Amino acid sequence: MPDPAELARIHAGCFTTPRPWSATEIAALLAQPHVFLIDAPAGFLIGSTVAGEAELLTLAVLPGARRRGIGQALVAGFFTEALARGAERAFLEVLAENAPAIALYERAGFSRAGVRRGYYTAPSGARIDALVLSRALP
């Protein structure tokens, strides 16, 4: 498994809103039996499965490595692992202003299921909505 400090470095290179996760938070999350990691050069995805549902918790690809298919491959790995763990449905929350991520998820078959108003807090203190996206797994 990759070093949580390296994962935290990648996460910090990708996010200000939501705030990046620390190495301690990542290690604690990955220690849970229902949580899994899909990693790739310059990126990773953390997901979980519980009671037939898979949640994509975070996907991070360093800015210099984007638009090369890494995110798409990570999402495909998420689907494979989720299905292997018995999930029938997948969902995620994404910053409503993150158009590139929303486009990636829509290409992967996710569609809008709802909005969480003011879910994220920007460094400025502004509250930003999250879109809830979901899709059935084959």
CATH code of residue 110: 3.40.630.30
pLDDT in the model for residue 127: 96
Query: What pLDDT is recorded for position 60?
Result: 96
Distance CA(131)–CA(87), nearest Å, equals 21
To the query of whether residue 97 is one of the catalytic residues in this protein, the response is: no
Q: Give the number of domains in the chain.
A: 1
Catalytic residue among 105, 106, 119, 120: 105
Q: Kindly report the pTM of this predicted structure.
A: 0.94
Q: CA-based angle 30:39:107, to the nearest 5?
A: 110
Model pLDDT, residue 105:
98
Q: Can you tell me the mean pLDDT for 122-130? A: 94
Digit-coded pLDDT (tens) for 6-33 = 999 999 999 999 899 999 999 999 999 9
Instruction: Give the number of C-alpha atoms closer than 13 A to the C-alpha of residue 104, restricted to the C-beta side.
Output: 22
pLDDT at 1: 73
pLDDT digits (tens, 9 = 90+) for 57-103: 999 999 999 989 999 999 999 999 999 999 999 999 999 999 999 99
Q: Which two tokens stand for residue 76?
A: 């495909």
Q: Which domain holds residue 16?
A: 4-136
Instruction: Tell whether the model's pLDDT for residue 3 goes beyond 90.
Output: yes
**One-letter identity of residue 127:** R
Q: Which of 6, 81, 88, 93 is catalytic?
A: 93
Spatial contact of 2 and 108, defined as CB atoms under 8 Å apart: no
The token pair at 92 is 């995620």
Phi, psi of 114 (to 5 degrees): 175, 180
What's the pLDDT score for residue 138? 83
Long-range pairs for 37-41 at CB < 8 Å and ≥24 separation?
A: 37/1, 37/2, 37/7, 38/74, 38/77, 38/78, 38/81, 39/2, 39/7, 40/70, 40/73, 40/74, 41/65, 41/70
119 as an active site residue: the answer is no
